[in-house]
Structure 1
Amino acid sequence: MTASWTPTRQEQDSLRRHQHVLELQRVDAIWPWLADHHGTLTALDAPHVAHPERLSFAELAQCIATAAAAFRAQGLEAGEVVALFAENSPRWLVADQGLMRAGAADAVRGASAPVEEL
């Protein structure tokens, strides 16, 4: 079975308006772009997590860059895989994207995952 998708006219128009995304070479490259174009707008608002946070696109991009630098300073090398145990939160996103920026990949599991899954 082959899956296919034929975009509607509205979807085609939207895709044309977002051609700049095609210039991004990596997933984590979206954050500097968003910081440059939408820096002061709210990127994340997590009022119900253990440590409530609200970050603008500029703040989020800086947090990701800082996390990447910290991972590299700890000896993380490009191509390595890191097990990341975390709940869905701004801190998870920063760690995930920081690992990508550092050239690594992460295997993600929630902190409450059953031992059998780990």
Structure 2
Amino acid sequence: MSTRYVLIFCLLISTTVFGQGIKFEHYSDEQGLSHNSVRHITQDNTGLLWLGTFDGLNSFDGNNFTVYQSKSKTRTSINNDDITALAFNRTTDQMWIGTRNGLTLHNLKTSQFKTFLPDDNNPQSLPDP
């Protein structure tokens, strides 16, 4: 019985002594994040972190946030700010972004967004839930 306690003690000590010094930073809208609640996180081929929030898509390079929101309504904007899913395709360097109003494909090479919406006249479009 005492051998078991010694083994557990040694395991705890070795974890403490040889553990990595992991440092956590907390970011909020005060540092440039579009919303304090991050729902989805993925990382692209260049190391950028992509964060989906209730109020837009954010990229983070380790120092600064870039916010993508629907307010600009340009080819470099998303269709809806409420991000419900993120999936990065490492082969094509594209990111699929699920929102409350459709599905958006972001081409990271061109920084352009293409949105797919339900269309009753097109049987190949997204289904309307």
Structure holding more strand per residue: 2
Report the TM range for the smaller structure's normalisation. Answer: under 0.3
Q: Which is greater in Rg?
A: 2
TM-score of the superposed pair, with normalisation by structure 2: 0.24
Q: Which has the higher helix share?
A: 1
